[in-house]
Amino acid sequence: MTRDRRQPAEWEPHEACWAAWPSHAELWLDNLEPARRAHAAMDRAIAEGERLELLVRSEADEASARAALTGADVRYHRIAYGDIWLRDTAPIFTVEPAGGLTAVRFRFNGWGGKYLFSDDVVLSAQVAGAAHVADHELPIVLEGGAIDVDGEGTALTTRQCLLNPNRNPGLDEAAYARHLAPALGIARLVRLEDGLQNDHTDGHVDTIARFVAPGVVACMEPAQGDPNRDALARVIQSVGATRDARGRALEAALVPSPGAVVDADGALMPASYLNFYIGNATVVVPTYGAANDDAAVAAVAALFPDRRTVGVDARAVLTGGGAFHCITQQQPAVPAREER
């Protein structure tokens, strides 16, 4: 018995990981070089187990990336992009029941019109072409960071993002379910409430709840004086009261939160240890110079005993609005035919 098209869980085998080199000096300002160093550390860790498909905008940017990634398994693609948030601007790769991949492309409107670059609007089609896979476009706005899947029919999301009128005015939860079931193989959409404060994505779920195994969801336990304390407590409560598409009660696996992480002006940033990338050989966890950095890396490592877990300073990347999950998009490895 075969499956329908599905988005595999992130811990399933990858062929490659797609990312884009930080390049826009006018966006990153003094954080450009620190963001490149963090990106390179992430890239080298990911490349321990899978090929990196890296977008670069110019000859100079490619030279910069090559110098930072000497010896790593990287293929470079000269493709224009607005910024590096490929989780949201690249396609979501899905597995077909008869074998092969499809790049499912959603419309992108700059997180509700906040940061819209013309190159990002068409980027998903260009990545699909560079990956040499068939593509399928859905006529709705959706970012990859707005959902997190277990590969078995269940997806996490937040109402704050999914039902925000700045994405798809008039589209309700039932309508989303009708779109996402055939496109990504989602049979049950678990709707949490709000995301982190000062998150310009309007509450992407990949900063507050992540599937780490079938039936197991990593959640952040609030730190002392955590500004997101109430929202994180609600996430833990909601996960513990939910069943997945196969009828299993979800288990909340707790990871410490970083607490209040602020920028140079003292403004709260949406820092999350859950914005990690699960690679074939490594799990790359963002750190922020916070008291709970080591404890969080250890907690994530305990969830993935068959992988090396590494913490990488993500403060410079966070100044752009996200961390390592936000800047990556996995391309699954596909057997000739999927069997249930």
| Contact residues for 54 (Cβ-Cβ < 8 A; gap 6+) | 18, 19, 20, 21, 43, 65, 69, 74, 75, 76, 77
Query: Following DSSP, what letter does each residue of 183-225 receive, concatenated?
Result: HH--SEEEEE----TT-TTSS-GGGTEEEEETTEEEEEEPPTT
| Contact residues for 150 (Cβ-Cβ < 8 A; gap 6+) | 9, 211, 214, 215, 244, 245
17, 161, 219, 326: the catalytic one is: 326
Distance, CA of 127 to CA of 101 (rounded, Å): 13
Q: Are 218 and 300 in contact (CB under 8 A)?
A: yes
Q: Are 10 and 278 in contact (CB under 8 A)?
A: yes
| Length of the chain counted residue by residue | 340
Active site residue 17: no
Active site members: 326
